[in-house]
Amino acid sequence: MSVLLITIAISVLLATRTSVTETAERVHADQAGRVALEDIMLELHSACFSPSIKPIRAGSENANLIYIDATNEAAQTITEHGEEAYAKAIKHEVVYSVSAHTLRDTTYAQSAELSSTELAFSTTPVNHLLAQHVEESWNAAHTARIPVFQYYRYYEPSDSGYEAGHLNPNALTTPLTATSAASVARVTVAFSVAPESTHHNEKAITPIALEDSAVYRLTPASTVETPTPRPCV
């Protein structure tokens, strides 16, 4: 009887320990993923610092998001002549690596203002690891993976199902060209973060799915707006 009671107690203790460990690792993965997502979203939401400079850049893909923002300084400063001047921007390249299961952000400081619509950036990169154990999330039916980055624009009159002033629900084809990048009015970021130990007692631990989006519109678009609404206006 004593041996039986001891065996039961040990089994309960091991089960409790496994449950606590699994919960702790899921919490850690959730926190790490949310911090990475929040970092990206804060920068994306701070990207409309000039109506003439579009935040999303050509070359952006489903696993590679290229954008500019001005979060490190005030969006505007006043020159000695009393004129408004925009603060120097930062160029970001956030890359999801399928093989390494990581999200990395490489930044480049602004080096010059080429024109009212284009900036030049340093060629010296600064690398920052945003998150590890990252993978693409599944759709609701668990039949297909969701791209980490997706891009959307407003409906054009020539689009099928045209609705004036509404965002087209069909994601843009990637990689983005200069033309399509300039039209991006919404970016979605979706990924999953797995705990460091993906299994406990041969039972798989489900990764934590995270998703958010940024809309580049400073004033609400009218449903009868003509011409087509543009980002950062």
- Domain ranges within the chain, ordered by starting residue: 2-215
Q: According to the model, what pLDDT value does residue 86 have?
A: 54
Predicted TM-score of the model (pTM): 0.80
In contact, 52 and 23? CB cutoff 8 Å: no
The sign of the CA dihedral 62, 68, 71, 72 is positive
Query: Tell me: the pLDDT tens digits for 151-186?
Result: 999 999 889 998 888 899 999 999 999 999 999 999
The DSSP letter of residue 186 is E
Q: Which helix (H) or strand (E) element contains residue 21?
A: helix 2-45
Q: According to the model, what pLDDT value does residue 41 have?
A: 94
CA atoms of 87 and 97, how far apart (whole Å): 31
Pick from 67, 209, 100, 207: nearest CA to 148: 209
Whether 22 shows a pLDDT value over 90: the answer reads no
Q: Which two tokens stand for residue 99?
A: 């093989």
The sign of the CA dihedral 219, 232, 95, 73 is negative
Whether 17 shows a pLDDT value over 60: the answer reads no
CA atoms within 13 A on the CB side of 172: 29
CA atoms of 149 and 152, how far apart (whole Å): 10
Q: Which residues contact 22 (CB under 8 A, 6 or more apart)?
A: 195, 200, 205
